Chain A
Amino acid sequence: MARTVWDSSVGKKTVMAVSGLIMLLYLVVHMIGNLKIFFGPGEFNHYAHWLRTVGEPFMHYEWTLWLIRVVLVVAVVAHATSAYQLSRRDLRARPDKYVHRKARTSYATRTMRWGGTILALFIVWHLLDLTTGTVHSGGFQPGHPYQNVVDTFSTWYGDVIYIVAMLALGLHIRHGFWSAAQTLGVGDRARDRALKTVANILALLLTAGFLAVPVAVMTGVVS
Chain B
Amino acid sequence: MKLTLRIWRQRNADADGAMSTYEVDGVSADMSFLEMLDTLNEDLILQGEDPVAFDHDCREGICGACSLVINGDAHGPERTTTCQLHMRSFHDGDTIDIEPWRAAAFPLVKDLVVDRSAFDRIIQAGGYVTAPTGAAPEAHATPVPKPDADFAFEHAECIGCGACVAACPNGAAMLFTSAKINHLNTLPQGAPERETRVLDMVAKMDEEGFGGCTLAGECATACPKGIPLVSITGMNKEWLRATRKAGGR
Q: Which residues from chain A sit less than 8 Å from chain B, CB to CB?
A: 1-5, 7-14, 86, 89-102, 104-105, 109, 112, 175, 178-179, 181-189, 192
Contacts and interface: CB of A to CB of B under 8 A. Distances in A.
27 contacts: A1-B248, A8-B202, A8-B203, A8-B239, A9-B202, A9-B206, A10-B236, A11-B239, A13-B236, A86-B212, A89-B212, A90-B212, A93-B104, A93-B172, A93-B209, A94-B103, A94-B168, A94-B170, A95-B104, A99-B6, A100-B69, A100-B97, A102-B71, A109-B215, A183-B213, A184-B236, A189-B230
Interface of B: 6, 8, 19, 69, 71-73, 97, 99, 102-105, 168-172, 199, 202-203, 205-206, 209-218, 221, 228-230, 232-241, 243-244, 247-249
7 closest residue pairs by CB, A with B: A185-B237, A93-B211, A1-B248, A93-B171, A90-B170, A4-B248, A94-B171
Interface of B: prevailing SS: mixed
A55 B218 CA distance: 48
A140 B237 CA distance: 49
Contacts of A182: 215, 229-230, 232-233, 236
B248 A93 contact: no
A104 B218 contact: yes
A104 B199 CA distance: 31
Given A109-B214, A112-B214, A185-B236, A92 B209 contact: yes
Contacts of A101: 72
A90 B214 contact: yes
Interface of A: prevailing SS: helix
Contacts of A89: 170, 211-212
Nearest to B247: A1
Given A90-B211, A92-B104, A105 B217 contact: yes
Nearest to A105: B216
A96 B248 contact: no
Contacts of A8: 202-203, 206, 239
B19 A99 contact: yes
Contact of B218 (A3, A13, A105, A179): A105
A93 B165 CA distance: 10
Given A5-B248, A189-B228, 6 more contacts: A93-B209, A94-B171, A100-B72, A105-B217, A179-B214, A185-B239
Given A8-B203, A93-B209, A94-B170, A184 B230 contact: no
A101 B99 CA distance: 11
A221 to B, nearest CB: 39
Contacts of B228: 189
A102 B72 contact: yes
A100 B19 CA distance: 10
B171 A3 contact: no
A86 B172 CA distance: 11
Nearest to B216: A105
Nearest to A176: B215
A198 to B, nearest CB: 15
A10 B239 contact: yes
B72 A98 contact: yes
A11 B243 contact: yes
A77 to B, nearest CB: 19
B216 A12 contact: no
A169 B82 CA distance: 40
Q: Specify which of B6, B172, B213, B229 lies most central, judged by the most chain A CB atoms within 10 Å of its CB.
A: B213
